[in-house]
Amino acid sequence: MTAYRLTPDSDISSFASSDITRPNLMGIHYRPEGVLEATNGHFAVRVPLANSVAHPAAAGATSPTSPMTFQASAVAAAVKALPKGDALTRSAALDDGNPPLAISSTGHTALPTTVDGGAFPNVPQVILTGEPAASIGLSLDYLKQIVTYLAKHHPEGKRGMVRLDLYPDRDGKDPGKVSPLAPVVFRAPVGEDRREAQVLLMPMRL
């Protein structure tokens, strides 16, 4: 049977909802094909789990074979407790149990499941498949700088909205197609008088 590992990137608790009226969104959902998911109803994240092959604590470990939702705080605690070391050492085998356990070389952390209050959303069903209309590469560092600036100066702060504009090729050969090399433009109001700031970000070649 397959065993998966929790790694530092398994902590996706910041994507889970904190709304107590939506208990089914307050946890981190596990799918037996080795995927963790979290959503607050506005955004969602899916992260594949690492395989436990050759993990020192994985001997005899078998990951759950049914979908379940872990308490988000428990997953965060398990990741925080990961031992230091190389990529393999700094992980924990996910073992089925009641409750499931995250087993590392230095101990284990229980992963209690939540009372869903309803089925966890079918995130894969929401994600579109097939050929995308466009694929654009953007720098995470530059995105962070843009978001930090706009969140600081937007009249509504971090709750404000930013508009993202994508443009076709300048040569006009295919006006209906988004260019993966054209600047991406972020537009948002800044200041109390809501002046429009425009931030251009050049894409990166994929």
pLDDT in tens, 97-119: 899 999 888 889 999 998 655 58
Please tell me the distance from the alpha carbon of residue 13 to that of residue 107, in angstroms, as a whole number: 22
For the cut 60, the answer to whether the pLDDT of residue 172 exceeds it is no
* Phi, psi torsion values for 166, nearest 5 degrees: -115, 145
Lowest mean pLDDT among 18-27, 55-64, 96-105: 55-64
pLDDT given at position 118: 58
Query: What mean pLDDT is reported for the chain?
Result: 88
> Which ranges of 50-139 does DSSP label H, i.e. alpha helix?
72-80, 123-126
**pLDDT tens by residue, 27-52:** 999 999 999 999 999 999 999 999 87
Q: CB 33: neighbour CB atoms within 10 A? A: 11
- pLDDT value, residue 33: 92
> How far is 69 from 148, CA to CA, in rounded Å?
32
Measured between alpha carbons, how far is residue 119 from residues 69, 116, 127, 189 in Å? Answer: 10, 6, 18, 38
The DSSP code sequence of 1-68 is ---EEE-GGG--GGGS---TT-GGGSEEEEETTTEEEEE-SS-EEEEEPEE-TT-TT-TT----SS-E
* pLDDT greater than 80 at residue 93: yes
Query: In the predicted model, what is the mean pLDDT of residues 121-149?
Result: 88
**pLDDT the model gives residue 116:** 57
75/26 Cα distance (integer angstroms)? 12
Q: What is the side-by-side strand order in the sheet with 101-104?
A: 50-51, 4-6, 92-95, 101-104, 107-110
